[in-house]
Structure 1
Amino acid sequence: MIDIYTIISTIKKRVSKQDVALCVLLLALFIFSRVVHLTQLPIFTDEAIYIHWAKLAWKEASWRFVSLTDGRQPLQTWATIGLLKIFDDPLFAGRMFGVLSGLFSLVGFFTLITLLFGKRYAYIGTLLYIFNPYFLFYERMALVDALVNGFFIWFLVGGIIIWKYRRLDSALIFGLMAGMALLSKSTIRVFFPLLFLLPFFMYEKKGFKIQAFTYYALMIIVIALSLVIYNIQRLSPYMQFIEQKNATFVLSIPQFLSHPLDPLMHNLRIIPLYALSESALLGPVVGFVGLLLLYKKRPGLVLVLFTSFLIPFLAIACLAMVIFPRYLIYLTVPFFIGLVYLAGQKKIGTFIIAAFLLSTAYMNWTILFSPSKIPFPSIDKGQYIEGYTAGYGVNDMVTKFKKQAEKKDIYVFTEGTFGLLPYAFDIYTAYTPLPIHYEPRWPVKDDDFVYAQELAAKHTVYFVFAERDLFPEHWPITLVKKYPKPFGPHGLYLYKVKPE
């Protein structure tokens, strides 16, 4: 079992002052890159939902599993509760979940590269990881996908460690981690098949049967423990909604067999496009070359990495009805390992590192300092920058509402009952003494203005619109301000309701 004194003694022997200095420097660089201007990009619809759930679960104990009402596992909600207690700005707190997920991934990546290639490669890999734009952007968002990427990395670490050492304590720790992973997102399920295929790629003539038997016995323990943790969701009556939610995003096997080319052909085209675009192109391409060169020396390792890519890639390509780039982050990790392998070569390593940093410099700069200019594919520009789901103007309106609520009650009608409106406002003002009353509506009808005008006779009443740019002339509203998106015609509109 675990011997803490042995661990401390090993650390003292293997970790020098130079190692400590490098780790501190890289950690500081990571924190700066993830935290600087963290809330500059306006809140995104999904972020508003997840932060709203966390605040509700924090304040109302009966809603600890609130995310299950929408078929979402609760780990992000629970983790964000603690961050909301620490940070006053709910958006900052929500995005710190992404930062901590990134730190979890970074430590896992350092561990993985150390296991595969050694400490020198691990430092190089950590530096490149910090400047990977795909990781950088999503580790600054209040989304669970950065954590899924971290679990993918740790699944590789766990599988390799258990195969290498075959210890019960390692299996128990890995089982606990795998159980937590299952509480993050359903995607985690596609990581498990690799664990059972790994021995076939790590074949050793001497004692293979005994090693494989021990490995699979430990993996059964891992699976059993992870399922025990996963099933704590049965404490909620809403666990059933997970599979219902999955059915809206993923084809069943019979559905796929009835029309196998749809959406397969479409997905085969967009998956590489999204992954390459969000990685600034060069990293995965060079990484693929690195894997080809590594295959000559360590074919088993490359087959493990390729399989870790191929299984989820085929699952997504064949069965996914909806794909966003954030769903694909972990697919680039095997190629990123190939990039690190090349970057660690003494003859060409410096050139590879410099080329990678230069190729990602513009995208990283825009992520940190000018989000509206991030060269995203159109689907992500629509989500985070140009579309109805981007919350430009939310902070200004919240400030206005708070200031007016200090004097008297105000009412805010919103075009939307779930999502950006009203949750982007609610996360700032719910469970505060401010008398701000939200009246969500979907769809907006003429009758809603009858009630709004009745309220306007005694109170200040606003109407906020996010999903339209044209307004009927007979509506009794006056434009206060339009908050335009950086590009395109869309905007967030704040109107004041005229009393009768």
Structure 2
Amino acid sequence: MRKLFDDHKTDLLVFGGLILAYFLTRLPRLDLIPIFTDEAIYLRWSQIMAYDASLRYLPLVDGKPPLFMWATSIVLKLFPSLDPLLSLRLTSVGGGLFSMAGIIFTSYVFFRNKRISLLAALLYLVVPFTFFYDRFGLADSLLAAFGVWSLGLGALLVQSIRLDVALILGTAIGLGLLTKTPALFFLVTLPLQLLLFNFKTSGWKIRLVKLFLLFLLVVIISQAIFSILRLFPLFHMISQKNLEFIVTPAEFLARPFEFFFNNLKTLLTWEVGYLTAPVALTIAFAFLRGQAVKQNLILAAIFLIHLLYMSTFNKSIFPRFLLTFTPGLLVLAAVGLDQMSTRLRPSLLVLVFVLVLALPVYTDFKLLTDPPTAPIPDGDSKQYINAWPAGYGVKEIRQFLARESSQYPKVTIGTEGTFGLMPYALQLYQKDYPNVEIKDYWPLGETVPAALLEASANHPTYFIIYQRPDVPPNWKLRLVASFQQGRSNDYLRLYQILPED
């Protein structure tokens, strides 16, 4: 062990430094951005599954594979006193650490260059795309981790033709499928790794046959793991959920490129916006000297295939859909920086590094200090921070309910919405106000629900409105508090329901 440490002391110290830097950038102010609609849903599912194992497939009710929620439920069980939102986001932090390790592994397998691996890890640390999602409670960070490991393991499988690598690769892809179904692309793009196959060695035909058999084994293992979801009778909901985002073959044939150009423009704008323009430009330098052409082509092609597929077939797109294959671009950017390091004078190279990293670091700083003003793509800013799905005010309302709960034997609160931020963001913390009754409603009628009106005559009764800008005209309410959602014109409002005269 001592000899192993001495032989790799520098590598271990660098890796340890990267891990330390990762936690120093991911953990501070982890709850600064309030709980978002999807986070509330995933966290509520995780909370239920943590204490009722019979409901371990609950996310399939909405067509969602459950692995991310399974992992979150474990964190909830291990740290029961921790804020549930932090438990959820710590799951993403873990996925991000797995991604950073994967990008180091993959870049080394592709290029056998430790400097490129280090640069790729540094870019992973500072690029706003990974920085934001590693700190946010969505499954995409974990999916990206399985994606980058599948990429590196696929390359290693082609180079080594080893059974153990195939077993690990099949497991990684299978776990990716249990996270989100776009992991199917990990299988679809696997044949691209054949560019790394050595056709010049003796016996290459036999090796190629072995490789194809191992590819088949990878498919079988990954599908076997995914098939555990078939144990739940709502497995078919996954395909139904996918139809909310993807056009059917009949729809495509009727209007082949209805979404293509707008999707392509939007997706590229989001990708460059999250990478930042300086980092995106360094990708081009990876192709300048004509070295490691096959490796560069694989990394670029995998991203482009995914991009073109989404542009053609997706009728709904979000920036997070791009995250899965972004680590490959970061490896290319690292190759570009490495190319510059061999061609530029040291003083000029320092200037280039400052220019490349300045904007990402600035964006990260804004996300850590003032998220509503952070220069991230509007597709996310207007969804997570600066629009009605954000959760500004939820924490304050929970604190208000806790105070009311300590003063009155019973309190009732109604919410606009039956699935999402409301009522789940309140139900998650029910233990803090056990005598508060939470009732959910959707859509809101012309008059106050009878149950709430009756409750208002006996004890304090409140209602939260956050999706519609107005109040139903016949509702008799008193505004208690209003919370702006970031810099938007949307407000989450808490009202007291006044009893009838």
Please give the range of the TM-score, normalised by the shorter of the 2 chains: over 0.9
Provide Cα deviations, 1:65-116, integer angstroms capped at 9, x if missing partner: 1100000000011000011221520111111111111001000001112222
Paired position in structure 2 for 1:425: 426
Instruction: State the Cα deviation string for residues 159-182 of structure 1 (Å, max 9, x = none).
Output: 011111111111112212211111
Q: CA deviation at 1:447?
A: 4.5
* Counterpart for residue 179 of structure 1: 174
After superposition, residues 46-61 of structure 1 pair within 5 angstroms as: 46-61=38-53
Indicate the SS of the match to 2:389. Answer: coil
In the other structure, the counterpart of 2:321 is 327
Q: What's the counterpart of residue 366 of structure 2? A: 366
Contact 2:127 2:274 survives alignment (8 Å)? no
Letter in 2 for 1:70: D
1:3 corresponding residue in structure 2:
none
Give the Cα–Cα distance (whole angstroms) in 2 for the partners of residues 445 and 481 of structure 1.
22
Find the counterpart in structure 1 of residue 89 from structure 2.
Answer: 95
Give the superposition deviation at 1:351: 4.1
1:229 aligns with 2:230: no
1:130 has 2:125 as partner? yes
C-alpha deviation, 1:203, in angstroms: 4.3
Q: Say yes or no: does 1:451 pair with 2:446.
A: no
Report SS of the residue matched to 1:249.
Answer: coil
8 Å CA contact 1:291–1:335 kept in 2: the answer is no
Taking structure 1 as reference, are residues 238 and 461 closer, same or farther at Cα in structure 2, changes over 3 Å only? Answer: same
Aligned equivalents of 1:61, 1:262: Cα separation in 2: 44
Q: Residues of 2 paired with 1:188 and 1:10: CA distance?
A: 40
**Cα distance change, pair 33–410 in 1 and its aligned pair in 2 (3 A):** same
Structure 1 SS opposite 2:415: strand
Contact 1:98–1:141 (CA under 8 A) maintained in structure 2: yes
Identity of aligned residues (%): 30
> Residue 8 of structure 2 is aligned with which of 5, 15, 26?
15
Q: Which 10-residue stretch deviates more, 39-48 or 482-491? A: 482-491
Structure 2 unaligned blocks of 5 or more: none
Q: Deviations over 1:291-331 (max 9, x none)?
A: 3125x122211221122112211211111111111111134
Residue 62 of structure 1 corresponds to which residue in structure 2?
54
- Counterpart position of 2:287: 292
Q: CA deviation at 1:10?
A: 9.2
Match of 2:187 among 187, 192, 204: 192
1:395 aligns with 2:395: yes
Residue 493 of structure 1 is matched in structure 2 by: 493
Separation in structure 2 between the aligned mates of residue 50 and residue 382 of structure 1, nearest angstrom: 20
* Per-residue CA distance 1:345-393 (angstroms, 9 max, x = gap): 3444544432221121221111111111111232222211221101100
Q: Which residue pairs with 2:25 in the alignment? A: 33
Instruction: Work out whether residues 67 and 175 of structure 2, in 8 Å CA contact, stay in contact via their aligned partners in 1.
Output: yes
SS in 2 for 1:439: strand
* Aligned residue number for residue 216 of structure 2: 220
**Structure 2 counterparts to residues 70-149 of structure 1, below 5 A:** 70-85=62-77, 86=79, 88-115=82-109, 116-149=111-144
Question: Aligned-pair RMSD on alpha carbons?
Answer: 1.9
Is the 1:148–1:188 contact (alpha carbons within 8 Å) kept by the matching residues of 2?
yes
Q: Are the equivalent residues in 2 in contact too, given 1:191–1:312 (CA < 8 A)?
A: no
Amino acid at match of 1:491: Y
C-alpha separation in 2, matches of 1:458 and 1:77: 39
Give the counterpart letter for 1:69 in structure 2: V
Partners of 2:3 and 2:469 in 1: CA distance = 64
Alignment length (residue pairs)? 489
Is residue 196–residue 216 contact of structure 1 (8 Å, CA) maintained in 2? no
Contact 1:148/1:184 (8 A) holds in 2: yes
Q: Distance in 2 between matches of 1:495 and 1:476?
A: 10
Q: How does 1:427-442 map to 2 (within 5 A)?
A: 427-429=428-430, 434-442=434-442
Quick one: which amino acid aligns to residue 88 of structure 1? L
**CA distance in structure 1 between the partners assigned to 2:272 and 2:192 by the alignment:** 27
**Structure 1 residues not aligned, in runs of 5+:** 1-7
Q: Which deviations, in whole Å up to 9, do the C-alpha atoms of 1:372-418 show, x marking residues without a partner?
A: 11112322222112211011000000111122223422111000001
Residue identity in the other structure for 1:219: F
Contact 1:201 1:303 in 2 (8 A): no
Amino acid at match of 1:272: L
CA contact (8 A) 1:69 1:241 kept: yes
Q: Does 1:314 align with 2:308?
A: yes
Change (3 A) 1:445 1:472: closer
Cα deviation, residue 445, structure 1: 1.3
